[in-house]
Homo-oligomer: A and B are copies of this chain.
Amino acid sequence: MQKKYLLAPGPTAVPPEILLAMAQPMVHHRSKDFEPIVASVKEDLKWLFQTSQDVMILASSGTGGMESAIANVLSPGDRVIAINGGKFGERWVKMCQAYGLNVDEVKVEWGQAVDPAAIEQRLKREPARAVFVQASESSTGVAHDVKTLGAMVRNHPNTLLVVDAVSAMGVFDLKTDEWGLDVVVTGSQKALMLPPGLAFVSLSEKAWGMAEKATLPKFYFNLKRERDNIRKNTTAYTPAISLIIGLQKAFELLKPEGLDGIFARHRRLARATREAMKADGLELFAKTSPSDALTAVKTPEGVDAEAVYKALRDRYGITTAGGQDHLKGKIFRISHMGYADTFDVITAVAAVEMVLKGMGHAVTLGKGVGVAQEILLAK
């Protein structure tokens, strides 16, 4: 028997309470067994998103939610700016291209956050219908400054800020309304501690205004139809019922902690991990603005990060994530999202030290662990 730990940046571990809630007998979605659940989670989603707007629930993974953001507010040929500082930024670019948009791609070095001033300059030079960005770029562990971008884009009446918050929502502060985040997308399998299969999307009034004129084709991801339905505690098409039942339970677990408590927990876990890794002589991949969702760790010269990832998995039953594309073999990534606490950090740090030692790398066992303990004790 090997005990298993899921510390990958999505899907994340699902609490037993949620697994059991989802194991209840199936109910019909157009019924009194289910509509009150939608009525309850739709309010909780507004709390999570910090918005007074409707939050739509889609049966899809986060990528489907991202697609709905494009298809509902834009028209063929629209000029858009897509910030590409990692695998998911690249996805915005490819998606916008697939939809026949005129994409101005802003390449940001992986491991760096975008400079909002550079976006402002581009917007002033040539207007764009939308700016696409990740609040947290899971491939690099970097958080882009969506607050500053929001304040900036707000001054452009015909430009929307579209935020991929898949690995950010419920991790750190995202004031959808206050910061002017026009379209915000998240998924079920990160901080919400659910299996993958649900996406959630909010639109600002400005975004709904643009949606009126948007002509890109959409049907399954028609957000206006979803808005009409969610207001009646239902969805346009058959929802992923068991996952929504799980969502209700997730909110039961999360709400007593409060948003501030949830953000503080993620901040503490992430900081403890970062400082522990540094104490162990490892470098963080995020040069600036590390995301509290996950920590991307560079392995020293001569130490293959893939080998670390595999040793964590095979020797210790701990699933983290490796690097993607050109980062393969260079970094491994540890998640702090969702159902995670103090001893997930201790476990991860201790295991990394033991794996490195086992690979013959000079590391003082317990050094990083001690640093993490110090930070976690302080709360």
- Chain A residues proximal to chain B, CB less than 8 Å: 4, 6, 8, 10-14, 19-20, 22-29, 31, 59-64, 66-67, 94-95, 98-100, 187, 189, 195-197, 216-222, 237-243, 313, 319
Contacts and interface: CB of A to CB of B under 8 A. Distances in A.
B217 A99 contact: yes
B219 A99 contact: yes
Contacts of A243: 195, 197, 240, 242
A25 B6 contact: yes
4 shortest interchain CB distances as A-B pairs = A197-B240, A195-B242, A23-B23, A63-B237
A145 to B, nearest CB: 26
A302 B112 CA distance: 71
29 contacts: A6-B26, A8-B28, A10-B238, A11-B26, A14-B25, A19-B22, A19-B24, A22-B242, A23-B23, A27-B319, A29-B196, A31-B319, A60-B220, A61-B237, A61-B240, A63-B219, A63-B220, A63-B237, A64-B64, A64-B237, A67-B219, A94-B219, A98-B217, A98-B218, A195-B241, A195-B242, A196-B239, A196-B241, A197-B240
Which residue of A6, A31, A66, A240 has the most chain B CB atoms within 10 A of its CB atom?
A240
Contact of A64 (B94, B220, B242): B220
Contact of A27 (B6, B27, B62, B100): B6
B25 A238 contact: no
Given A8-B28, A25-B6, A219 B60 contact: no
Nearest to A187: B238
B61 A61 contact: no
Contacts of A19: 22-25
Contacts of A221: 220
A100 to B, nearest CB: 6
Counted per complex, copies of this chain come to 2
Given A4-B27, A28-B319, A63-B237, 10 more contacts: A6-B26, A11-B27, A23-B23, A29-B196, A59-B59, A63-B219, A66-B220, A94-B219, A195-B241, A217-B217
Contacts of A95: 219
Given A27-B6, A240-B240, A196 B59 contact: yes
B11 A196 contact: no
A306 B179 CA distance: 48
A237 to B, nearest CB: 4
Given A196-B240, A219-B67, A23 B25 contact: no
Given A26-B195, A94-B219, A11 B63 contact: no
Contacts of A59: 59-61, 64, 196-197
Nearest to A199: B59
A29 B6 contact: no
B31 A11 contact: no
Contacts of A23: 19-20, 22-23
A197 B195 CA distance: 11
Contacts of A61: 59, 220, 237-240
